Amino acid sequence: MTSGATAPSSASVDSAPLPFPRPWLLSGTATEYAPLLDARVWRGVRVEVPLSLAGRGENVSAFALDRAGTATGGGATLSPRARLGLRVTGDEAWAPLTLLAEYEQDLPTGTLGATPATGLGMPGSDAVATQLRKASLRVGYGNKVVVGGGVMTSHFGLGLLANDGDHGWEPGSARFADPRGGDRVLRGFIASGPHTPLGLVVSLGVDRVLDDDSLLLAEELGTKAGTGDAATQVIGSATIGRPGRSWAGVYVAHRDQRAADGRTLAVTAVDGSATTRRTLWEGAVLSLGAEAAFIAGDTTLTGTPTFPTQAVRQLGLAARGGLDLGTWGAALDGVYASGDRNVDDGSQNAFRVDPNFELGLLMFRQVLAAQTGRAVAVAGDPQLVGAPVPGLERVPTRGAVTNTLAVFPRLFVRPIQGLEVYGGVLLAWSAMPLVDPFNTRVSGGSVRNALDGRPSGWLGTEYDAGARVRGMVAGVELSVGVEGGVFVPGGAFRNASGTMMGPVVGGRGVLGVRL
């Protein structure tokens, strides 16, 4: 069970991108993307209006969710997204003044299709809705100072903690990523830089958190508006280098969060990240990235009668590497997220990676998300329990990697220009045994998983493969892909009789258009 402390949003004004090359495009009359509208208007003001459309169709085979054998899966879902933006900047005639005004909104975003089993945060349960991502203004004077404010997305480093949901698959990454949503804040900030030959940039800010994976909103909880969590943050960051080449940074965020019933969270996150991209020789590019985050503080969100206040101590680590040799290459992801052996003691140790830091197709996004989401319905059933489990709404992972040590090596090839075929094997262990709160309590404290079995530390193996093509068609950037996988559960998914859960199979098609 997490403390809700896992994702204080980034203080970074300009954070490093994922350490992989930018898109390579098919030949044609237009060779690179340009916004739908790009014009210079009054006195050197430039106006850009980008528009992107995305869709994902997905299906997963049925698998067991709880001790009673309740199953989910077997139904197709569709996740549409239309994103409209507006970007206003001043050109060199404004120097030394700088101007940036941004607007971005998803119209719509969410998931349609199969009705998931009863639970909270179940895969495919996001309602279709509009979402404001950006409505902000920033003004600067040379490299001396930049001030700004408004609704913004938040991202830092590889996106381990703060992730804007805008860092998906890129050629050479071989990632199984199709992000949605992202961390959104109402922010006011002041920044300065770059300074010194290292390109030092420092920033300070204050956030009111609008949405991230630690904040439970009223619509998620099925309650009326204004009865979800509320959170504020004080943030600061320092970075050196240049994103896309060699870059390093650190940020600190102190978060105060309060649930509608008065339970609280007060934590500080320290996050450090670095990326680099080097050309080894002509046609060979090496990309490396790493991120480490530690969260400390205390919370009453998940407190028990014995331990009403729990100490928060959580650690997350991520490493990412890639070697692009032109016609083929390799990539490797590694993640460690600390776990929690005992949900009823005086500490909360389970680190939760941002859900948009995706790792594979099935193990985390589908199976663990559905089993932990179903745990809310089981442990909250008044026919089974006399009183609700404290902090039960914090149990679902919502697709996030948590309580895990995982490695994901992958290979890719480019048989023809514009087409990339990729695949890999995801291997994962639990940092601590998988704990289902209800099953563990009714067994007298002996650790049990969602299927009421005694879990081992081996989560299992996932085999994933995919193919994507990206190119320019009549001045429009088009991306089409298909991906599929098989998850073979390990001993962490035994049931009460000791039988292993069967394999889970799934696949999806993805489509992206940028105008």
**Mean pLDDT score, 121-141:** 92
Per-residue confidence band for 225, with pLDDT thresholds at 50, 70 and 90: low
pLDDT in tens, 484-501: 999 999 999 999 999 999
pLDDT in tens, 322-362: 999 999 999 999 999 999 887 778 889 999 999 999 999 99
Distance CA 151, CA 13 (A): 13
Q: How many C-beta atoms surround the C-beta of residue 446 within 10 A?
A: 10
Judge whether residue 4 has pLDDT over 90.
Answer: no
Distance CA 10, CA 192 (A): 16
**Mean pLDDT score, 396-407:** 95
pLDDT in tens, 161-201: 999 999 999 999 999 999 998 999 999 999 999 999 999 99
**CA terminus-to-terminus distance, the chain:** 43
Judge whether residue 20 has pLDDT over 50.
Answer: no
The structure tokens listed for 62 are 């049925």
Q: How many C-beta atoms surround the C-beta of residue 41 within 10 A?
A: 9
- pTM flag (> 0.75): yes
- Structure confidence at residue 442 (pLDDT): 80
Judge whether residue 12 has pLDDT over 60.
Answer: no
Distance CA 281, CA 442 (A): 61
pLDDT in tens, 32-70: 777 878 888 877 789 999 999 999 999 999 999 988 888
Q: Lowest-confidence range among 81-95, 406-420, 488-502?
A: 81-95
Full 3-state SS string of 405-444? EEEEEEEEECCCCCEEEEEEEEEEEECCCCCCHHHHHHCC
pLDDT in tens, 252-262: 999 999 998 88
Judge whether residue 23 has pLDDT over 70.
Answer: no
Average pLDDT, the chain: 88
**Mean pLDDT score, 124-150:** 94
Assess whether the previous peptide bond of 108 is cis (omega < 30° from 0). yes
Distance CA 239, CA 403 (A): 29
More confident residue, 114 or 185: 185
- Side-chain half-sphere CA neighbours of 339 within 13 A: 19
**Mean pLDDT score, 23-31:** 44
The torsion region of residue 474 among left (phi > 0), alpha (psi -120 to 50) and beta comes to left
Q: Is 358 helix (H, G, I), strand (E, B) or coil?
A: coil
What does the buried/exposed string (b/e) look like for 64-79 if buried means 16 or more CB atoms within 10 Å of the residue's CB?
A: bbbbeebebbeeebbb
- Closest by CA to 47, choosing from 62, 37, 32, is 37
Judge whether residue 6 has pLDDT over 60.
Answer: no
The structure tokens listed for 167 are 């860092």
- Structure confidence at residue 7 (pLDDT): 44
Judge whether residue 444 has pLDDT over 70.
Answer: yes
387-394 own/partner pairs: CB under 8 Å, 24+ apart: 389/437, 389/438, 389/441, 390/302, 390/303, 390/304, 391/1, 391/263, 391/301, 391/302, 391/303, 392/437, 393/120, 393/216, 393/221, 394/1, 394/2, 394/3, 394/4, 394/216, 394/301, 394/302
Residues across the chain: 515
